[in-house]
Structure 1
């Protein structure tokens, strides 16, 4: 019987606040000004990570129905890429295919070097946003990991290796949950409720992001308004308002508005508002080429922006989703994870992913920018374009330094906190 490897993909999502925190991963010597250089490791893996993000989104959409969607594609791909260090034969080929890595075009070493570079750049302590991403292995003290696997996960993925007493499940569960709670600043508690009796290792990946809007909303302008769930139903939600210049694009082919709302630092967000009845059309077109076209087509324009204030969370059974995407062997008794441990047959028994997103006016005690709101309109100029996110919309959080999509989601009901 295969021993179980429990894969936990844990993250805390976007909390629009400004606060610096010391990072644990070393500062990269990489010159960020050369981010466009195609030979940089993180640039090489960016297209595959984008393809995975949108493929996973479309798989989630099939099961989500009329529910909010929110997840970190980078967290999921990083966890499975790290696991692939110990995969062999067809199990490895399936994982690479599921993550959209073409083995004939990119060597395995280059894939891991790419993720290593992403982790370095994201956790640069000199950045203006707080962005923590990390990995940990909780290892049954009866399991003897192969030295190469352990060396590689530490070298490429900066993973912590923690020996755990899985013969005492309550103690192991407590240890893992306390680690998760600490790394997610108390936002995710009691995540692991039980462990399979055969569990030999728990792999944890987490990502935590806090950023301040470059142009904060004034909380004095936040007021209750209708958010239209569909043509006949609506809910009351607190709407944030501001009249400023933003990069926007009108995609006439897909019938949607795209608004870029940047954070301080080199992270930005895209909010995509499909016309009524056009959400599926926009979702079907979600590809890296589509987003690239949106980014290149953005033009600055003064608009009156209305955005809901919301906090939602979502959980996913990644094992089930991956199996429907054709990645099956790693979860079966045919799994070949022989590169992980000595004389122990392993498979992944569970893979879960949880995300939280919290969007608000700002998180600072006081902001001069907030106090400099210009609310008077001159009659000599036309009224600004009014873009109100008062119906279902898409959101993406993109790190420009690494070309990584940190988060991807669809907000269909801002008042539904748990999905």
Structure 2
């Protein structure tokens, strides 16, 4: 009988949204999916930027699959977290299992060497974990092992430096205590953002892999709380909810994509992160989910223009917990979950498989941020005559890191008044 290898993916989401565009190089319309010429870490950047187009392809394909599984519901996940964890798992995979994992992550193995993939992820994790001032972003991985199972030295020698892996002994024969130990570890690493990730651990479990991403950013320019007022959000033709709607007047980076159609607003955090807010025309969300890819984002980035508008954006919190094995199956990662799995590079024993993949994410959006230097002149009444863009129906949110051009988070906010967790 196959030994159970219970793998968990988790991440924490945003704490405070920030105001802006696709920072630094992206302020000049640079594509978030293309290499960045202004990185402070040229050697690291060269390696990790090789992964950019593949990681972007994986991110948008995953969004499409999640949207099919969860139509008309809130979605929030971290593609870079999932990609990084499965790349680390590929270190211990062999034969077809390894090929399926890497190709499922959107890598063409005739165009990129496996060692380039791992070196790229190593530098990606390192650069994301040392961002510039203004953004807090921590990534890490941990393996919880039963004492009777000893990982191969080679696997540890490779995984620890490449993926900042920590190895912790755990007694899975006592599931209640094991769950508490793992959940406490994850809660601490995500500063209390992700709690109770692991539930109902099988006593037969011999290994659990946890991956975490924690991100907190401040707006370059905070929304003023006194401007937040309750307004209507149109979930669908039959459902309208009241939500606290934040408000700012000023110049924003905009693009109106007539092909979809949709409206794109680009916003900035202090530091190295940027967000695209994408508001599809009524009835066009499914088309947007089906067609969104890195080429589309490049088109938006290349065609943004500044315009004075009144921006209305909801204040909300959402979270989601997903069992994503089925989605990964559809993306070609199959054998690792079956008795055909070959993970012998981890422990040296063949009877090892992944039994479950859990991915949990949370997102808070509010007014908080650090005010940038600004004019002290009073508001000019003419500003209020600027056209308004109101995110008062379902929209997408894409969060990028500027130094690595990585897609950190993707979300669909279908109903900002809903905070319940979804289970795929």
Pair in the same fold by TM > 0.5: yes
Question: Post-superposition shift, 1:39?
Answer: 7.6
Question: Post-superposition shift, 1:17?
Answer: 6.7
Corresponding position of 2:345: 339
| 1:8 pairs with 2:14 | no
* Structure 2: distance between partners of 1:10 and 1:371: 42
Consecutive unaligned residues of structure 1, counting only runs of 5 or more, are 19-29
* Structure 1: distance between partners of 2:378 and 2:224: 11
Corresponding position of 2:388: 386
| 1:138 pairs with 2:144 | yes
CA contact under 8 A between 1:218 and 1:371: conserved in structure 2? no
CA contact under 8 A between 2:272 and 2:402: conserved in structure 1? yes
CA contact under 8 A between 1:35 and 1:43: conserved in structure 2? no
3-state SS in 1 of match to 2:385? coil
Corresponding position of 1:361: 367
CA contact under 8 A between 2:122 and 2:162: conserved in structure 1? yes
| 1:74 pairs with 2:80 | yes
400, 403, 406: which one aligns with 1:404: 406
272 and 45 in structure 1: CA distance in 2 versus 1, 3 angstrom threshold: same
| 1:328 pairs with 2:330 | no
Question: Post-superposition shift, 1:328?
Answer: 1.1
1:295-328 Cα offsets, whole Å, 9 max, x none, are 1111122111000000000111111211122211
371, 377, 384: which one aligns with 2:381: 377
| 1:62 pairs with 2:64 | no
Q: Which moved more, 1:34-43 or 1:235-244?
A: 34-43
Corresponding position of 1:176: 182
Question: Post-superposition shift, 1:161?
Answer: 0.9
3-state SS in 2 of match to 1:200? strand
Question: Post-superposition shift, 1:268?
Answer: 0.3
110 and 43 in structure 1: CA distance in 2 versus 1, 3 angstrom threshold: same
CA contact under 8 A between 1:36 and 1:43: conserved in structure 2? no
* Structure 2: distance between partners of 1:310 and 1:171: 34
270 and 121 in structure 1: CA distance in 2 versus 1, 3 angstrom threshold: same
3-state SS in 2 of match to 1:33? coil
268, 274, 281: which one aligns with 1:268: 274
- Across the two proteins, how many residue pairs are aligned to each other? 404
Corresponding position of 1:218: 224
| 1:194 pairs with 2:196 | no
1:340-381 Cα offsets, whole Å, 9 max, x none, are 0023521000100010000000156xx476996964233xx8
Corresponding position of 1:92: 98
Q: Which moved more, 1:120-129 or 1:291-300?
A: 120-129
* Structure 1: distance between partners of 2:162 and 2:97: 20
**TM-score, normalising length: structure 1:** 0.92
374 and 66 in structure 1: CA distance in 2 versus 1, 3 angstrom threshold: farther
Question: Post-superposition shift, 1:68?
Answer: 0.5
CA contact under 8 A between 1:3 and 1:344: conserved in structure 2? no
* Structure 2: distance between partners of 1:250 and 1:37: 37
CA contact under 8 A between 2:220 and 2:369: conserved in structure 1? no
1:366-406 Cα offsets, whole Å, 9 max, x none, are x476996964233xx89323110000100011001011000
* Structure 2: distance between partners of 1:7 and 1:319: 10
* Structure 1: distance between partners of 2:190 and 2:45: 33
170 and 334 in structure 1: CA distance in 2 versus 1, 3 angstrom threshold: same
CA contact under 8 A between 1:75 and 1:206: conserved in structure 2? yes
Output aligned runs, 1:107-146, within 5 Å.
Answer: 107-124=113-130, 126-146=132-152
374 and 320 in structure 1: CA distance in 2 versus 1, 3 angstrom threshold: farther
1:17-51 Cα offsets, whole Å, 9 max, x none, are 79xxxxxxxxxxx9953779998111100111100
3-state SS in 1 of match to 2:106? coil
